[in-house]
């Protein structure tokens, strides 16, 4: 079996909507089940996940040339970066 290629962003610090925020949003989205949360997927792919300390507050992470925002409220700060 061939080896799984390494992800080009493995080892980068980044953020995305947290598992906690996904769980809180689930009732507003009809309560469907997700097979894999974005936070978990990034961590499994080898990223270093960074989260805000309070859910639903802007959080932006810049590592090398990659800028990521945790939630839509992060958009302005992403643009400023």
**Per-residue pLDDT tens for 12-36?**
999 999 999 999 988 887 767 788 9
- Give the global pTM: 0.84
Separate counts of helices (H) and strands (E) for the chain: 3, 4
- Quote the CA–CA distance of 20 and 27 in Å, as a whole number: 13
User: pLDDT of 46-55, one tens digit each?
Assistant: 999 999 999 9
Instruction: Note the pLDDT of residue 56.
Output: 97
């Amino acid at each position: 079996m061939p080896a799984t290629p390494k992800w080009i962003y493995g080892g980068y610090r980044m953020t995305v909507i947290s598992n906690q925020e996904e769980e809180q949003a689930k009732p507003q989205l009809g309560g469907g089940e997700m097979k894999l949360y974005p936070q978990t997927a990034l961590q499994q792919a080898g990223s270093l996940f960074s989260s805000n300390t309070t859910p639903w507050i802007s959080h932006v992470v810049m590592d090398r040339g990659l800028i990521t925002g945790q939630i839509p409220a992060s958009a302005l700060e992403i643009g400023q970066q």
